[in-house]
Structure 1
């Protein structure tokens, strides 16, 4: 990579705003997330999901998977979370979720990453400080298998929106070290 093509990190990262997106942009999560059985059990209990395939080893052993499956809603939630820094850190609200599919099972110990592509942009007709972004996102495991795919549409703040102002408090004294 020559100096002319190097991409330098911004001095201050506050996420993307509506103006930062272009149709066709692809973002890959910087971080991966390994799911553990503890994550799976807690999420399953938190959501009152009583399907034993998520938390009962003996029951899961009788299934075609022979071990507990990670709760599909946990898989979706983690992949969405991994995509937020790139896509919707400055979103005002989710507007739609479409075409969610789970082509590959997820098990404790799997590590997931997110990849998102911008599909559509449009200005809000009723909210001048916001725009609407549609993306498709997929979760990919450590083997490169797609474990979840979905489309998501959300309302994004523009840079001029009052909510885009820095929320960092000004220090009341100078550095002491």
Structure 2
């Protein structure tokens, strides 16, 4: 019997924090996560770790795990970003208004050509992206400030006009078909040589 390809689906992320309760409150308050569990575990170095499990999906026990014990001094933040899909452009724009009301740090509405994204920082400086896909593909990376003060239909027209000026512009469906073919040919998780 031939080995079946391994099917993987992203499930959750866990990261260390300084102030567990403040961070849990932020992710619950602004981002709408629900605390599904909380507890303690012994850590690898004999320390006791406090954990908070958060989810927005009743089929997922947790999508984010906040873990105590983030070192006080790091040369840089190892988390590049935590990305959440907003579902629809009106939902993203409504969320943008919520974020403005919260007064979060480093608010950046942008287009990547293939997505409209809102970037901001959580209380400990981790970058969060809330985004929607556009119906187009453009070569990445691409990042340009976007006018989120426009109504949804006008913003989408603006985004398309801009995307058409970028290298690789084409319908997302064409790009998706190419990626599906490329990924199907990969097998899945086979050790080299």
Same fold (TM over 0.5): no
TM range (shorter): under 0.3
TM-score (norm: length of structure 1): 0.25
TM-score, normalising length: structure 2? 0.23
Structure of higher RCO (CA pairs closer than 8 Å, 6+ residues apart): 1
